[in-house]
Amino acid sequence: MKKCYFPLLILLLLPAAGYAFQGELAEKDSVDLIIGLTVLDIIDVDDTEETITLEFLFSMQWPSDSLKGREIPYSEDRVPRIEMQYMTDIQSFFEKRIRIDESGIARFNQRIIGTLRHQFDFTRFPFDVQRWKMAFFHIGDQSYRLIPDTVFMGLHEDFIDPPTWQTRFEGVGNTKLRGPGPDLKALSYHFRLRRNSVYYLWKVLVPVGLIVLMSWGVFWIRPEEISAQLTVSVTAILTLVAFQFSVSQLVPPLSYLTLLDKFSIGADFLVFLAFLESLVSSFQAQAGRHQLSARIDRISRWVFPAAFILFILVLFV
């Protein structure tokens, strides 16, 4: 009976061996397609639309032994069809001829301007880092192995960073694009954008901090002067709300809080607590408990700054 299992086992393994053999043959039949990418300029980084508009040089090299040493007119059927993932509004500029050197390598270069859609991560805004990639994949009957050009890639030597970002090339690697059908092999170039936070530090964070400091003026106003305390507190609250409304236009509506949102919410609580403290101290003074009222103000002069410093350290450090 045991001998009967061996033919059955062989029949079960034959399909798997056939698939592996077909895959090995397909890999051997593939032609090397060398892809080069050099970013010339990042024209715009749109936070609200979550897009990156850039200009780059794109090159392809592939074997064409039958046309060695020739120069042929450009046509779409003579060039491997390479698609770019998440790239829209593409404008392509290229020579109308394809050059083939004496070794049988065809070369085709393009200058492309396009808009890359990218899902931004604003969790650390305005100290965020955006990592994005440009993925290329081939579609067509001919099978190609996508190989990066080790010389022609990354940032151009004359590349200038955008005003509010610092750009860095982080390497290239193979990846797979998953979908409802079979996975597509792709070549992806990885880049990093680090936001220059100096602008937001001096234009947003420092003014919010000054508004919080202004709200603490009530601790040095006599509790009997409740009208003056309310004027300072209400002015601080209204100024903070108006300022935050204008700052909210910097990023699109999100389902999560950014670092700036957390800082603003903390500032709101501190300003509101200072307002409540002024009410409590004034109530104690009007009730004749002047020493208790003065003591509350003296304690608040130290507690509120310490709480604000601790909040900043926990949030940013």
Q: What is the mean pLDDT of residues 7-14?
A: 45
In this predicted structure, the answer to whether residue 16 has a pLDDT above a threshold of 60 is: no
The model's confidence at residue 75, banded by pLDDT at 50, 70 and 90, is: confident
The vertex-192 CA angle with 188 and 197, nearest 5°, equals: 165
Where are the strands (E) in the chain, listed by range?
31-46, 51-63, 71-73, 82-84, 87-94, 97-100, 105-117, 129-138, 144-155, 165-177, 184-195
Q: Into which CATH architecture does domain 199-316 fall?
A: Up-down Bundle (1.20)
Q: What is the mean pLDDT of residues 201-224?
A: 91
Predicted pLDDT at 317:
81
The model's confidence at residue 308, banded by pLDDT at 50, 70 and 90, is: very high
Q: What is the mean pLDDT of residues 305-315?
A: 95
> For residues 164 and 161, what is the distance between their CA atoms, to the nearest angstrom?
8
Strand partners, 98: 72
Predicted pLDDT at 17:
41
The verdict on domain 30-196 having CATH code 2.70.170.10 is yes
Predicted pLDDT at 22:
40
CB environment 90-118: b (16+ within 10 A), e (fewer): eeeeeeeebebeeeebbebbbebbbbbeb
251, 125, 119: which is closest to 194 by C-alpha? 125
In this predicted structure, the answer to whether residue 175 has a pLDDT above a threshold of 60 is: yes
Domain boundaries, the chain: 30-196, 199-316
**Per residue in 214-249, pLDDT tens?**
999 999 988 888 888 888 888 898 888 888 888 887
Q: What is the mean pLDDT of residues 146-165?
A: 91
**Per residue in 235-290, pLDDT tens?**
898 888 888 888 887 787 888 999 999 999 999 999 999 999 988 988 888 888 88
User: What's the pTM?
Assistant: 0.78
> For residues 191 and 151, what is the distance between their CA atoms, to the nearest angstrom?
17
> For residues 26 and 160, what is the distance between their CA atoms, to the nearest angstrom?
43
Of 68 and 181, the structure prediction assigns the larger pLDDT to 68
Both tokens of residue 218? Answer: 């009530």
In this predicted structure, the answer to whether residue 181 has a pLDDT above a threshold of 80 is: no
Predicted pLDDT at 29:
59
